[in-house]
Structure 1
């Protein structure tokens, strides 16, 4: 068993989870599957009626787990898919309160992560092979003789654990990410951090491609409306966003790193495409 450490500070995210549609972006319960295909990448995410699909807020627990594993490994400690922690340690790391309501929400998130199933071709040696798993194989509460909670034990899936141990598949994210309240802006930050990184001239996405990668249920028109609102508010820590029009009339979202001293300022990104993802 790997015991989580309270001293871990830097949040790390798994790039596979940042790039592809694995989670519901809605706060309401979603049971409609995500069925995504692009090139040789296929993802099928299924939910139960009882719990609904794991959300992008539930994924904060996986960010906590990835951060724990990477920090321990870098400090020469032995890691494991079998983890032990306390609810407080998880809630404190992801910026949630320690009220009874927060504890109940944490347990509901663990239930959704355990009951949501994923089948994907990502990181499989053959194109036709699929790896099927749940985000958490098992989890349980530990209690003392009087029924008071002592902690939580959980088992991570091998697919996730193997990706976390691969340095090339992990990125540090801004702690301000946990303050983002909207599902779309949270998903967009992870995508921008993955593809934009710290490149001076940024990156860009065609809006139809972006809509497909989100895995959301909202129609394209609504997706575009919400995206324009995000560009207007500029909530993503460390990045400037802009909407541009290509010569062929296609709309495109561009983004580039924002200097730390300007994180809280209104961005004025260059109104041009810097690099396209077709």
Structure 2
């Protein structure tokens, strides 16, 4: 029928029922695919170079618009908030949608940000990066190989009064992300302390630890060189390793203890173990923790270095969804790695790909299992 035809150029919001964000606080949950693969820049400085990553038959390619740069791991907090809202609504039997309506105050409070005028400006910058970042991936392609392309946010809009007062915001999530959240097998509960981690590599390490080590008493092990490739970081491996040693020394990850131990040959392993093993809880994949908040342990780190990290920047600063005083504290904005884990353009792909050979756990001194 002609009356049911969608006019060309009509916004997705015109054909989707809106989901009104829940007013109360909800437990944070993260999407496994985003925790496992390098979808985001770990630097607070603007990154233009794409992420080109391959692991077996799985590929992840992430491209930036020079005006905004790649979406960062801090911008991803918006997606974590959206996933948490969707699952909390589903738990309550509330219909959900890819079309979100919310107030900036709701979102900023939930992810541990301030609510001043600057924070609203940073939020808009984050939404712009999420919309302009283009992702191509073969993850979750089913029986037949196919590549999907999308942006983290299809469209967004700020709702203001004539006086300029912000009354609300709207955005539309891509179907790839939305379906990955509704499939509860692809979601994990995370510690609210994650939002207080200020470093990009710290945040990325927590997501890796939560995804792989989980609640396993023996934790998980990775070679540092494998982690470097898996992170798609632009820093040189030597700087990345120093940064990891500094994190091991500080032990900032909520719920996990990090240790360094020798591997085969000259390889060094990073060991991730839960600091508290919770007994008798329901699976954390589908339900949040209710009473016990696990924190960091005061166990002494093994094999750490006292070397001080250098700080170099090759790109200009950009507005980020983080407080201004901390934007200068980036330790992951190094010049492009000599190892060519990622590259700036579409040249020799053999030099662009970072090959993921797999995750690792097993006996303390046994061979590493890859992920």
Cα deviation per residue 1:25-66 (whole Å; 9 max; x = unaligned)? 000000100000111110000001101100000000000000
State the Cα distance separating 1:4 from its structure 2 match. Answer: 0.2
Superposed, which structure 2 residues align to 1:203-242 within 5 Å?
203-242=220-259
Which residue of 2 is the match for residue 78 of structure 1? 95
> Does structure 2 conserve the Cα–Cα contact (< 8 Å) formed by 1:2 and 1:82?
yes
Superposed displacement of residue 251, structure 1:
1.0
Select the structure that is richer in strand: 1
* CA distance in 1: counterparts of 2:192 and 2:82, whole angstroms: 15
- RMSD value, Cα: 1.7
Q: Larger relative contact order (C-alpha < 8 A, sep ≥ 6)?
A: 2
Q: In the aligned structure 1, how far is the partner of 2:144 from the partner of 2:203?
A: 30
Q: Does structure 1 conserve the Cα–Cα contact (< 8 Å) formed by 2:137 and 2:148?
A: yes
Q: Which residue of 2 aligns with 1:88?
A: 105
Q: Following TM superposition, by how much is the alpha carbon of 1:143 offset from its aligned partner in structure 2, in angstroms?
A: 1.6
Deviations, residues 59-102 of structure 1 (Å, cap 9, x unaligned)? 00000000000000111110000000010000000000000010
Of Structure 1 and Structure 2, the greater helix share is in 1
Equivalence for 2:270: 253
Secondary structure of the 2:249 match is helix
* Runs of 4+ deviating beyond 6 Å: none
Q: Does 1:263 align with 2:295?
A: yes
Give the match's secondary structure for 1:139: strand
Aligned to 1:99: 116
Offset at residue 262 of structure 1 (A) = 7.5
C-alpha distance 108-74 of structure 1, shift in aligned 2 (>3 A): same
Counterpart secondary structure, 1:32: coil
Work out whether residues 11 and 173 of structure 1, in 8 Å CA contact, stay in contact via their aligned partners in 2. Answer: yes
Alignment match, 2:57:
40
Give the 3-state SS of the residue equivalent to 2:112 in structure 1.
Answer: coil
Do 1:86 and 1:151's aligned partners in 2 also have CA atoms closer than 8 Å?
yes
Q: Deviations over 1:164-195 (max 9, x none)?
A: 00010000100000000000000000011000
Gap runs ≥5 in structure 2: 1-17, 277-291, 304-363
User: How far does residue 261 in structure 1 lie from its aligned partner after superposition?
Assistant: 8.3
Decide which of 31, 37, 51 is 1:14's aligned counterpart: 31
Q: Could you tell which deviates more after superposition, 77-86 or 7-16?
A: 7-16
Give, in angstroms, the shift of residue 268 of structure 1: 3.9
1:116 alignment partner, one of 133, 145, 149: 133
**Contact 1:12–1:67 (CA under 8 A) maintained in structure 2:** yes
Give 1:206 deviation, angstroms.
Answer: 1.2
- Give structure 1 stretches of 5+ with no counterpart: none
- Normalization by structure 1: what TM-score? 0.96
Q: Distance in 2 between matches of 1:169 and 1:186?
A: 19
Larger radius of gyration: 2
TM-score in terms of structure 2 length: 0.72
Q: Does 1:25 align with 2:32?
A: no
